[in-house]
Amino acid sequence: MFRIKICGVTNSADAQAAIAAGADALGLNFYRASKRFVSPSDAKKITEIVPTQVSKVGVFVNHSVSEIHSAAADSGLSYIQLHGDEPPELMSQLPTSIKIIRAFRCGAEGLAPLASYLERCDANGRMPDAVLIDADAVGDFGGTGRAADWNAITRDRKLIGAIPLILAGGLTPSNIASAIEAVRPDGVDVASGVESQPGRKDHALVNEFIAAARKAFNDI
């Protein structure tokens, strides 16, 4: 399980900068409506330079099973991240050789809806390997820069058992230490918080974020 993921990588220069800074994982967004969309061909060019010790995460939003299979095979993905309205039944149709991250937007009901979703996953024969908790931004599928509700996540963590939790949503170099101290996640995910503009990483911010996150994880 990775600890620090730089998501929304759209080019090889940003990928190389994140790797050099010590990122454990890179996220490639295959959702066409996203400002950080990468085509399958561009994603393949990026993943070809990623060393084996760095996880390659493909972000999908309501894609078909065949589209996910194709992108995962072409890019050699380590993880499939489902970030849309995918039903639990879809997981059993995905490659068993690739781990699954299920993203969830934490709203007023906290993590109770996610707990119910995981029960359905279990009943259907395949659980995600981790969950990613993002801010509840109605109509958006992540990357908004809005912070997730750390208090609700901490309060309801017990509802989802021992499944690894990745914290996302509004994380920046200045708040990542506080976020890790408050939530104590297994991993963290950042996109907009280390960008100069959507889809373009600020390499100095990437370095600052990873260094601060690494220190915070070591401290706890």
Write the pLDDT tens digit of every residue in 46-61.
Answer: 999 999 999 999 999 9
Cβ-contact 201, 9 below 8 angstroms: yes
Determine the 3-state secondary structure of 144 from DSSP: coil
Q: In the numeric block, which tokens belong to residue 126?
A: 């395949």
How far apart are alpha carbons 210 and 194 in whole angstroms?
10
How far apart are alpha carbons 138 and 11 in whole angstroms?
28
Could you tell me the pTM of the whole model? 0.94
Helix, strand, coil % over all residues of the chain, rounded to 5: 40, 20, 40
Q: In the numeric block, which tokens belong to residue 180?
A: 């890790």
Cβ-contact 21, 206 below 8 angstroms: yes
What value, to the nearest 5°, has the Cα angle with vertex 119 and ends 117 and 123? 115
Alpha-carbon torsion angle 55, 58, 59, 63, nearest 10: -160
State residue 107's pLDDT score.
Answer: 87
Cβ-contact 148, 179 below 8 angstroms: no
State residue 146's pLDDT score.
Answer: 77
Residue-number span of the structural domain to which 50 is assigned: 4-219
More reliable by pLDDT, 69 or 135: 69
How far apart are alpha carbons 202 and 175 in whole angstroms?
17
Rg (alpha carbons) of the chain, rounded to whole number: 16
> In this structure, how many other beta carbons lie within 10 angstroms of the beta carbon of residue 84?
14
Active site residues: 7, 134
Name residue, tokens 């220069």: 13
Total tally of structural domains belonging to the chain: 1
How far apart are alpha carbons 215 and 177 in whole angstroms?
8
CATH number of residue 195's parent domain: 3.20.20.70
pLDDT per residue as tens digits for the range 151-178: 999 999 999 999 999 999 999 999 999 9
204: enclosing H helix or E strand: helix 203-219
Residue 32, pLDDT > 60, answer yes
Cβ-contact 1, 130 below 8 angstroms: yes
Neighbour-count burial of 137, counting CB atoms closer than 10 A to its CB (0-12 exposed, 13-18 middle, 19+ buried): middle
State residue 137's pLDDT score.
Answer: 61
- Report, as an integer, the average pLDDT of 120-126: 96
